[in-house]
Amino acid sequence: MFDSLSGFPLEDPIYVFTLALAAFLVGPLLIKRLGQPGIVGIVLLGVLIGPDGTGLVAHGDAIELLGTVGLVYLLFTVGLELNLRGFFRAPENAAVFGLTSFFLPLTVGVFVCTSVLGFDFWPALLLSAVFASHTLLAYPIVNRYDVTQNDAVTAVFGGILFTDTLALTLLAIVLGVADGGGLSPLLIGQVFSSLILLFATVWLVVPPIARWFFYNLSDESYFEFLFVLVFVFASASLAEILGIDGILGAFVAGVAFNRLIPQGSTLMNRIEFVGNAFFIPFFLLHVGMLVNVGVILDGPQTLQIATVIIATMIGTKFVAAWTVGELLDFDRTERGVMFGLSSGQAAAALAITILGVEAGLFGAAELNAVVLMLLVTALVSPWITERYSRRLAVSDDADPEREDAVDPRILLPLPPDSENRRDLLEFGFLLRDESGTNPIHLLSVVRPSWSGDTESNVEEVESQLRDLAEFAYAAEAPLEIETRVNHNVASGIARGALETRSDHVIMGWNPSKTFGEKVFGSIIDQVLDWTTLPVSVTHFGHPVNTTGHLRVIVPRSIDHHDGFYEGVYKVKRLADKLGVPITVYVFEEQTNRYQQLFDFVEIDVSAEFETVSGWDDLQSELRDVTESNDLVVTLSSRVGGVGWDDELEALPNRLVELPSRSFVVFYLREGEPDYDSQFLRID
């Protein structure tokens, strides 16, 4: 666009890296003031400083290397952040919408690109696959309006699993045709056999090894991040070896890690931070530097291609949303939200386009047209989603500003010699709202020393809490730490809960340190006696993020307890965050009743219900079916309260003998009968 300035383009790695980081910082800040996603700003600055812009920076090997790494990382995060729970809750809705919203734009797109734009079949097929997929650019909007549990919204969330997988599969076939010269049964057989081998290998190998690694890791947590990266790029390498593009391997690895890395966890925040701050911006900069603004200014071809694909994409996505909405009996508002969400384009579209350019199937005009499409959809998708989400929230009697106990103020008392403090903190992350502002309060109560070492003991405990706080800060979770000196530890905890206005207390239990007290030992039992708050008493035999199944024990008559619905809500929240199934064990053939009660509670998570005849039958059943990564959750009242059973006194020692050795006894809230109403569905 301009002649290169004197001394340019920059080639020194330090200069290039400095300018790239400046683009990552300035681009999103400027473009967000115009209401656009931050990724657009980085792409535009890439256009500006690239060889076809001002020529400040050469599009050299370093940019291409980091851009390719960023592309692989981007597709990994797409798979990692898929809403698998929404998919498994109503797979038929997700399948219908996903297949319709993919094949309708694809079919119409191929016809339009070949007949109107004059493309050959294979470039037309690949370009149509670009806009047949979709990216959830407007997800923050539906999340803000609290309509993510709506069936129409979850259909779009689950549908992306179909659209992105199919788009990447078509990419593999088209690239195979481009390399081999034509389509043949042998090529199709090779592609699909490679896909089957890739999916089977990654999904069978990654989860068990990851669980073993997370279970045995006791060193610095950044090793978890490195472990994930190794397997992501190993999966991408395997895809390359099998003759398909590496980004599909990264996407499959993301899906495989999906249930092992909960939203809001420290590891997830590390992955998102590094990706958003470094790897993905380099890919976006790489894309921008490939854009040739001169092509747009020199003739109408780019604008013609962009107009055609934008009109085709928006029109077919609209028809797909309305058709599926009619078929699944969604109202006009729900169809509008589906259209708004599915019209967003970003990650998969950019990835497929870049690979099409590298394979010689697309030229500068097609690349520029796709970039223009991203700019348009970045405006259209959020605007439509905002409009209809607001209506949907009102029609569902949902209040987007409502503040209730979905973001509890958690008190986490930690003894100075606690061995599982990190597991307890991860458990706290799962119970809190990841976008909430209420902090987790870390509390340690130190008994005064008769030898005069109290001050040094307090300093040592505070140092331990600060080390743990660094781990929490990596998860971007608000945290406050406090140390108290008190002869009675339970009294210090109870006063701490009162002064911090806590809504939930989490305590760890060590069976080897219980000497004949009622249930858990004097400190925990006294805390239960002195507070009416819900208390989770935990013991983890495996890292909580590797949990594969929740098994919930519901004692007789516990449904008559004032805090029952809050307890069910916490169970559903755990399953939702972990992305795992629930099996509920009830007594005396009351499965239908408890299933109805569970359905009354917010968070649309399904559960299976099993009937047991008594506690011995329950123990036998758990011993037979429980696996090493299961978590057993018991809803319980305090001793002598509504729903109490004397068998609950011996239950913790029985649970710790199960293969997983992991359990949570959730003691329900006492004395606030009206508190539970906020957890019920509002029809």
The two three-digit tokens of residue 121, written as one number: 């079949």
Q: Over range 123-143, report the average pLDDT.
A: 78
Q: Report which of residues 508 and 89 the model is more confident about.
A: 508
In this model, does residue 515 exceed pLDDT 50?
Answer: no
Residue 341: name the closest of 107, 159, 167 by CA: 159
Q: What is the 8-class DSSP label of residue 680?
A: B
For 357, residues 6+ apart whose C-beta sits below 8 A from its C-beta are: 290, 363, 366, 367
In this model, does residue 246 exceed pLDDT 90?
Answer: no
Read off the pTM.
0.66
The pLDDT-based confidence of 401 (bands split at 50, 70, 90) is very low
Q: Report which of residues 237 and 459 the model is more confident about.
A: 237
In this model, does residue 667 exceed pLDDT 90?
Answer: yes
Q: Furthest-apart CA pair in the chain: how many Å?
A: 90
Residue 293: name the closest of 50, 59, 58, 56 by CA: 50
Quote the distance between the C-alpha of residue 254 and its chain's center. Answer: 10
Looking at residue 417, its pLDDT comes to 63
Write the pLDDT tens digit of every residue in 443-465.
888 777 665 566 777 777 777 77
Write the pLDDT tens digit of every residue in 31-76.
778 766 677 788 788 888 888 778 888 877 888 888 888 888 877 8
Give dist(CA 301, CA 565) in Å, integer. 61
Q: Over range 172-190, report the average pLDDT.
A: 77
Residue 547 phi/psi, 5° resolution?
A: -60, 135
Residue 628: name the closest of 547, 571, 552, 550 by CA: 547
Question: End-to-end CA distance of the chain, in Å?
Answer: 59
DSSP strand pairing (410-413 vs 504-508):
parallel
Looking at residue 94, its pLDDT comes to 84
Angle subtended at Cα 502 by Cα 499 and Cα 504, rounded to the nearest 5 degrees: 145
Q: Which amino acid is at 209?
A: I
The two three-digit tokens of residue 97, written as one number: 């919408």
In a 10 Å sphere around its CB, with 0-12 CB exposed, 13-18 middle and 19+ buried, how is residue 101 labelled?
buried
The pLDDT-based confidence of 674 (bands split at 50, 70, 90) is confident
Looking at residue 147, its pLDDT comes to 75
The full length of the chain comes to 683
Looking at residue 221, its pLDDT comes to 63
Give dist(CA 527, CA 397) in Å, integer. 38
Q: Report which of residues 398 and 159 the model is more confident about.
A: 159
Cβ atoms of 578 and 584 within 8 Å: the answer is no
Residue 377: name the closest of 562, 161, 610, 138 by CA: 138
Residue 633: name the closest of 562, 557, 547 by CA: 547
Q: Report which of residues 216 and 105 the model is more confident about.
A: 105
Whether the CA torsion 398, 399, 404, 405 is positive or negative: it is positive
Q: Over range 628-633, report the average pLDDT.
A: 91
Looking at residue 8, its pLDDT comes to 67
**Highest-scoring range by mean pLDDT, 139-148, 354-363, 595-604, 619-628:** 619-628
Place of tokens 């040739």: 292
Q: Over range 564-577, report the average pLDDT.
A: 90
**Highest-scoring range by mean pLDDT, 246-250, 398-402, 622-626:** 622-626
Place of tokens 């384009």: 345
In this model, does residue 165 exceed pLDDT 70?
Answer: yes
Lowest-pLDDT range of 108-112, 129-133, 445-449:
445-449
Q: What is the 8-class DSSP label of residue 676?
A: G
Q: Over range 336-340, report the average pLDDT.
A: 90
In this model, does residue 234 exceed pLDDT 90?
Answer: yes
Q: In what order do the strands lie in the sheet with 608-612?
A: 479-485, 440-446, 410-413, 504-508, 535-539, 663-667, 630-636, 549-553, 582-587, 608-612
Residues of the chain by 3-state class (helix, strand, coil), percent to 5: 60, 10, 30
Peptide bond into 9 cis (omega under 30): yes
For 37-42, the CB contacts below 8 A with 24+ separation are 37/137, 37/346, 37/378, 39/280, 39/284, 39/346, 40/374, 40/375, 40/378, 42/281, 42/284, 42/285, 42/288
Looking at residue 505, its pLDDT comes to 92
Looking at residue 516, its pLDDT comes to 42
Residue 210: name the closest of 252, 260, 259, 250 by CA: 260
Q: Which amino acid is at 492?
A: G
Looking at residue 66, its pLDDT comes to 87
Cβ atoms of 534 and 573 within 8 Å: the answer is no
**Residue 176: half-sphere exposure toward Cβ, Cα within 13 Å:** 24
Consecutive H or E run containing 642: none
Give dist(CA 657, CA 640) in Å, integer. 25
Give me the chain's average pLDDT, please: 81
Give dist(CA 538, CA 631) in Å, integer. 10
The two three-digit tokens of residue 345, written as one number: 């384009």
29-to-149, 423, 648 alpha-carbon distances in Å: 31, 36, 56
Q: Over range 110-136, report the average pLDDT.
A: 87
Lowest-pLDDT range of 318-332, 383-397, 581-595:
383-397
Looking at residue 12, its pLDDT comes to 79
Q: Which amino acid is at 61?
A: D
In this model, does residue 204 exceed pLDDT 50?
Answer: yes
467-to-274, 309, 428, 446, 472 alpha-carbon distances in Å: 21, 53, 17, 17, 9
Write the pLDDT tens digit of every residue in 288-299.
787 776 666 666
The pLDDT-based confidence of 317 (bands split at 50, 70, 90) is very high
